[in-house]
Amino acid sequence: ERVHAAVEPIDRLEEKIKMLVSVIGRLRGEQARAVEENARLQREVETLQARVTDAEAATTELTEVSDVE
């Protein structure tokens, strides 16, 4: 009975450690997905910034052409 009573807290601790390891694994997976999503969004922002720059250049060019006429 005494041995069993002493083992019980160790068993509970083992279960808590297993749950903690599981949570850490899940968090690492979520972090990896977030890093990938952030990289994708950064590329998208850069593409959109380039398109804005191109559009501004085209607008400037059209304005200069219409000013000449």
Chain centroid to Cα 43, Å, comes to 13
| pLDDT tens figures, 15-50 | 999 999 999 999 999 999 999 999 999 999 999 999
Handedness of CA 31, 32, 37, 39 (dihedral sign): positive
pLDDT attached to residue 41: 98
2 pLDDT exceeds 70? no
